[in-house]
Structure 1
């Protein structure tokens, strides 16, 4: 019996092994001999292999409408620079232009208030140095570049060579024949009975040799005068107070208000002072005021 039981256990173990493996085994009888092939049904279910799914179909994006498309219209062109001043123009704007060109060492003459050949050449050079068209005319682009590089000129810079407007005449100048000289506006009016005949820019003495103020008279005229004290020419001199006189100054003509006299009233326009010298008489009044 024990042998039979052991054989049965062996058969059961083999059947269990085959059930797990899923194979066909050969059965044995109770005595251990073969009984012929036995088909063992496998009761376990193998995991199912999923069928391949169909590829996902992409949905095309909706076509962009005309409103969604970026605009391809060209941008409006920038307006061309506007010309502010050109050769032949005059006025305070031209004077400021010249003063600013002097600040950046492109102009050494003036300011005169007249857009002359030297001003045009200075503007052309300034433009070329900065990659701008060398037109010689001051347009809005050129002017802005110059403004960015300079400061606002003072009154003395604007009228470095004269030409500033004269202020109101002193009340003492409103009667008779008078050389009416203003230190504040640096001008001299030649007046007859309250009427201004001509106006000239003038220069005065320094703080160490100031031009005296007050009311005087022309006491001596000397057409070709030469100063023995300073060894310098004083043509068309009209003396009014000691050694101080109204006269032509070549230094004033060359340097403008960058210099000063030794107390005299300097005139830079030689032709104008020569004409005035002929009109002024000994004994005519001279008023020097602020």
Structure 2
């Protein structure tokens, strides 16, 4: 009988116990087979003796039956969508805030203020000819404009209000006003020249008054009625006690506005004038009745149908108060006009644009181009502007050009 190996059970079909695979069995000696149990040898083949030793069988694990699977269609995995490229955010430019302007220095005096401090301010500005008229003690438009002009001229911050820097510069350039000056109390001083005086000092006085349009007669050595009248007019204009006599205040103010007369002026020698070049007219001045005003030539021409009737020197507004360019018309004539804003005379005024007018200016006659107007067109030739005033009519064209 063949030897049967006993296997452990309990494993899955086709699996072998782990200990059988790991530990070999000792050899088994088989007994001699009996003839009954032997198969007959095939005919024609030699019979070999059977081996006497049988080694332990080597068990090959039975392969597990492969289950038959019904094939299903293999679905290829859908390709995952490629991520859309995200736009790279553009580099944002860093906006740096503009540096803030430094704050205006605190105002010591400004529009709306009143009192003795304002009176002191106004008189100091009056000394420098930035302020005109009576001392009021009220900080109004005239005071603000005077302060703004002073600040601009001196390279200070032009606010129209008085800060410490403005006050320091103004005080350094002026003297302390007297109580009478601050309250418009005019007291004449002792007379230096008076009616009846004679000599070279009288001639000098007359020549200086003639330079600024107050004296019109021939220069003489005698202080007569014409000289007295001229002195009174000058004193009234300059807020000096009106006496017709020359005191130190009158003389100082007159000297401050005039130059030393030449020998010809003192002796009534009239120099020959060089011929004045013809004025170049703007094309808009060639038809009709036109007051033609050129800023670059600093001249005014009265023109009728393209023909120049007369010309005169003119002066214009400052950078802060410029004279407007353009085509206008005379809308109002005022022979003895006085400025409502500055309380200053504007004789023979021909208004053409808002408050701007052509008019005579004694200041222009005295100082020439050292000063400026508040926007008006100043004429220093009194006779010429008087003739223009009489010849012009409301509605006449006014052309102001560069």
Structure 1 length-normalised TM: 0.45
Higher relative contact order (CA 8 A, sep 6+): 1
Report which of the two has the higher share of strand. Answer: 1
Instruction: From the CA coordinates, give the structure whose radius of gyration is larger.
Output: 2
